Amino acid sequence: MRRPGPSRLAWLSIPVLLAAIIVLWAADLRGSRDSAYLMMALNLVFSALVSLFIAYLIARSFLVRSTPGLLLLGCGVVIWGSAGAVATAAAGDDANILITIHNSCVWLSALCHLAGVSLSLWSRRTLSPPALWLPAGYVFAAGAVGVVTLSALAGWMPTFFVQGQGGTPLRQFVLISAVAMFAFTALLLAATSRTPLSPFAYWYALALALIATGLFGVMLQSSAASILGWTGRTAQFLGGLYMLIAAVASVRESRVWGISLEAALRESEERYRTLVETAPDAIVVHRDGRFLYANSTALLLVGAESFERLACHTVLDFFRLAEHEQAVERTRTAMAGNRLPMREGTLLRLDGQEVAVEFHTAPVDFRGARAVQTIIRDITERKRAEEALRELNVTLESRVAQRTAELERRARQLQKLTLELSQAEDRERRRIAALLHEDVQQQIAGAKFHLGLLRSRGKDDPQRATLDKVNELLKEAIEKSRNLSHDLSPAVLHMNDLAEVLRWLARETAAKHGLTVHVDVLGDAFRQSEALTMFLFRAAQEMLFNVIKHAQVNEAAVRVHRMGQCLCLSVSDRGCGFDPQDLKETSGFGLLSIRERVELLGGRMKIQSAKGQGSRFHIVVPDGHQTEG
């Protein structure tokens, strides 16, 4: 229980008075030095007024904390302070009544002190509403003193003291138990509080020890108002003085009108300091705009060499002027007992530098009164990382946009090349068809004409049979070249109606291969370009040829419809089906080639088929693309 400075000698009064009591008891000095007026004055000054002041401070703290331990402590103080004055005023010259009232009330006070400190240590309960519990508790304490006094005056209480003989066994038991409870309460305060002790805990523990010493002294006296009795009273009055010092020290330490009893308030400042000093975040505690505590991280963050330097400034000094109103409102909300959500802001260092931080604000009980605890985290590096990430995202988005534009340009080029390839194929087909029609067919026709002249000269010519055979071959050659020319570049392809082109394909397929094709055209299917019409015609032709070759059916369906800016072509059958994976081996202008060209045009092709369940081919291609070179 040592304290720095002169107060560390305050405990010496206890062994000194205890030794004096033992010496006086051993000397057995008899005689009475009683003075009712002196007793009344001493009781009023050192007991009643001191207890009134302490009870007021405890009341203010109880209204904040609402803990039953504080309320019981206040009741104990009220009973102790009123015991001496009430007993002196009510008893008159009757020593037994005076001692009965005083000792009974002191016992109740000791019980309240012990219960209050114990509850504060081991109970987390609170009483609500505190404004109702406080007057009820104090009235109950005053009523207990009144009941004891009335009972003693009415003769309902057993005898406590016989002048010249000393206390009865009942009185000795009451005082011994009161001494034990006061002493044990003092030990609880000293043993369970932080090290070093707070001023309040130190002085109040000494006060209770002095009261226990004084009660021990009066317990040993055989005559009221003896020298031994006055020595015991002196110890009790000195205990009252120590209580007053404890209360003043509490107010000075916490800077509020309240009691900072650590055990009663369950505050262990040493553990709190150990926790926050090792915290990586800055932690400050403030009240009414003034700093009460700051850990080393907080001092480093604001650029203060010591807490004294920080305490020279108000909380608002570390905020921008535009944020003062918001800071005041958050503090007011926290003081009302509400936790606030995290928010980001700017902290002004003492050197004027701005630091990006986030604040976590919550109420806290600090040194016996409500305060505000703010946890401050420096997020400068995080903000820099976020800014760098934001810039990187902008750069990446720009690059992605550039690459996307480049890919779109390349895709349009591929689409153009694909259409140009289809157009080149179509032109080559036309050229070959024209060559067959205008050259090969004419030459064959000329040969057939001259062969006819030879045949007409001699019907009995032995070569007549050979000539007839050659004539038939030339006739077949003319027919095949005519069909080939027609197949290479049908005249219907130059029409502007895709539906009519597909219907012609259906008729040709039925005529040549016996496959009935049902054409279903929904909506407007006019072509947008000759190359696209040619591509869709060749695709439908290839898919129908696949039906003829593999499906083993006599019917198929071709369906065309427009979907937005796209043309959709589907060919289906109910044949034997196939495994689409087998198409990987397909080459030439087969289904795989169709898929590749569809994708180059910016479209897609889907094949649905399974063995024994028929097939369905879907092609979707954009209609009317804009291309660039």
Q: Taking 70 as the threshold, does the pLDDT of residue 624 lie above it?
A: no
Coil, strand or helix at 563: strand
Residue 436 within any structural domain of the chain: no
Instruction: Read off the pLDDT of residues 162-177 as tens digits, 9 standing for 90 and up.
Output: 877 778 899 899 999 9
The per-residue b/e assignment along 424-439, b for 16 or more CB within 10 angstroms, e otherwise, is eebeebeeebeebbee
- My answer on whether 234 and 277 are in the same domain is no
DSSP three-state, residue 519: strand
Residues 310 and 279 in one domain: yes
Angle between helical axes of 68-91 and 50-65 (0-180°, round to 10): 160
**CATH code of the domain covering residue 210:** 1.20.1070
Nearby residues of 359 by Cβ (< 8 Å), 6 or more positions away: 330, 342, 343, 344, 345, 374, 375, 376
pLDDT of 584 > 70? The answer is no
| Cβ proximity of 529 and 624 under 8 Å | yes
For range 397-408, the mean pLDDT: 86
Query: Which of residues 66 and 14 earns the better pLDDT score?
Result: 14
**Does residue 137 share a domain with residue 40?**
yes
- The whole-angstrom separation of Cα 164 and Cα 172 is 15
pLDDT surpassing 60 at residue 205:
yes
Domain that holds residue 294: 269-378
**Least confident piece of the model among 214-218, 337-341, 389-393, 528-532:** 528-532
Selection from 598, 551, 215, 210 nearest residue 418 by Cα: 598
By the 8 A CB rule, do 560 and 520 touch?
A: yes
Domain shared by 237 and 283, yes or no? no
- Mean pLDDT calculated for residue range 454-464: 64
DSSP state of 314: B
Are 228 and 132 contained in the same domain? yes
In this structure, which amino acid lies at residue 448? K
Q: Collect all residues with Cβ–Cβ distance below 8 Å to 508 and sequence separation of at least 6.
A: none
Q: 461-496: per-residue pLDDT in tens? A: 666 667 677 777 777 776 676 666 666 667 666 665
Q: What is the pLDDT of residues 319-328, one digit of tens each?
A: 988 889 988 9
Asked if the structure places residue 229 within a domain, the reply is yes
Q: Are residues 511 and 615 both part of a single domain?
A: yes
Residue 105 CA, distance from chain mean position: 55
Same domain, 550 and 585: yes
Same domain as 230, residue 84: yes
Q: Are residues 76 and 193 in the same domain?
A: yes
Nearest to 219 by CA among 43, 81, 18: 18
Q: What number is the average pLDDT over the span 123-130?
A: 76
> Span 299-319, mean pLDDT?
89
CA angle 505/508/514 to nearest 5° reads: 120
In a domain, 57, yes or no: yes
| Paired tokens of 167 | 């206390």
Mean pLDDT in the chain? 81
The answer to whether position 401 is within a domain reads: no
- Distance between CA 501 and CA 83 in Å, rounded? 120
Give domain status of residue 348, yes or no. Answer: yes
Q: What is the CATH number of the domain that holds 347?
A: 3.30.450.20
Q: Is residue 483 part of a domain?
A: no
pLDDT on residue 492:
64
Check whether residue 232 and residue 330 sit in a common domain: no
Percent of the chain with pLDDT over 90: 23
When comparing pLDDT for 189 and 284, which is higher? 284
* pLDDT for 267 beyond 50: no
Contacts of 223 (CB under 8 A, 6+ apart): 30, 31, 32, 163, 164, 166, 229
Q: Look at the chain and report how many structural domains it folds into.
A: 3
Domain stop point among 353, 378, 403 = 378
pLDDT average, residue stretch 83-96: 84
* Residue 587: predicted pLDDT: 44
How much is the average pLDDT of 191-206? 73
Confirm whether 347 is domain-assigned.
yes
Q: Is residue 460 part of a domain?
A: no
Looking at residues 136-144, what average pLDDT do you find? 94
Judged by DSSP in three states, 375 sits in strand
Worst-scoring range by mean pLDDT, 220-224, 330-334, 422-426, 531-535? Answer: 422-426
pLDDT of residue 5: 45
pLDDT band at 181 (very low <50, low <70, confident <90, very high): very high
CATH number for the domain harbouring residue 591: 3.30.565.10
Q: Is the confidence at residue 627, as pLDDT, over 60? A: no
For the ranges 236-245, 461-470, 552-561, 569-578, which has the lowest average pLDDT? Answer: 461-470
Q: What is the pLDDT of residue 436?
A: 62
273 pLDDT more than 90: no
Q: Which of 201-205, 222-226, 377-381 has the highest mean pLDDT?
A: 377-381
Q: Which of 180, 40, 14 is nearest to 98 (CA)?
A: 40
Of the residues 326, 344, 378, the one at which a domain ends: 378
Listed ranges 20-29, 57-66, 148-157, 405-414; the one with the highest mean pLDDT: 148-157
Q: Which of 39-48, 339-348, 391-400 has the lowest mean pLDDT?
A: 39-48
Please check whether residues 313 and 199 belong to one and the same domain. Answer: no
Tell me how far the alpha carbon of residue 547 is from its chain's centroid.
62
If we measure between CA atoms, which residue out of 373, 390, 301 comes closest to residue 335?
A: 373
Comparison of pLDDT for 211 and 414, the residue scoring more: 211
How high is the pLDDT of residue 571?
93
Last residue of a domain, one of 378, 408, 430: 378
Whole-number Å distance between alpha carbons of 376 and 286 = 13
Q: Are residues 232 and 284 in the same domain?
A: no
